[in-house]
Amino acid sequence: MTKPEGFPGSWQRAMLPMLLLAELSAGQAHGYALAKSLQERGFGPIKGATLYPALAKLEASGFVETRWEEGQGGPGRKVYELSATGRVELAEQRASFDQLTQLVQSTGR
């Protein structure tokens, strides 16, 4: 049986905000670059209908700051950057995820 690319959609939706914060901890990026980086790292393809609402929620929560970058011969694009509050949130989410990982690995052994 061949493993499908990426993770189930419900996992993607649940983990996407934390992974976006983690990607942005390395520096600012636009949405397409974030999706491409996550896909290259094995997360699977991310549809725009999933990606951009997640980014908008992170922005509304104050975890991400944005600015418009002029396009070179094309339309401009929104650039996302992790805020100080977003760095704190990412640390808290990583700690919670570590606890969940330990629980899953220890259950049933």
Q: Which residue from 88, 92, 80, 72 is spatially nearest to 32, judged by alpha carbons?
A: 80
pLDDT of 2 reads: 42
User: What was the pLDDT predicted at 1?
Assistant: 39
Q: What is the pLDDT of residue 5?
A: 60
- List all residues 6 or more positions away from 61 whose beta carbon is below 8 Å from its beta carbon: 85, 89
Averages of pLDDT over runs of 10 residues in the chain (109 residues) are 62 92 97 94 89 96 95 86 98 96 88
Residues 51-85 as b or e (16 or more Cβ within 10 Å = b): beebbeebbeeebbbbeeeeeeeeeeeeebebbee
Query: What pLDDT, on the 0 to 100 scale, is given for residue 98?
Result: 95
Domain 10-106 fold is Arc Repressor Mutant, subunit A (1.10.10)
One DSSP character per residue, 66-89 reads: EEEE--SSS--EEEEEE-HHHHHH
Supply the pTM of this predicted model.
0.87
Q: Where are the domains of the chain?
A: 10-106
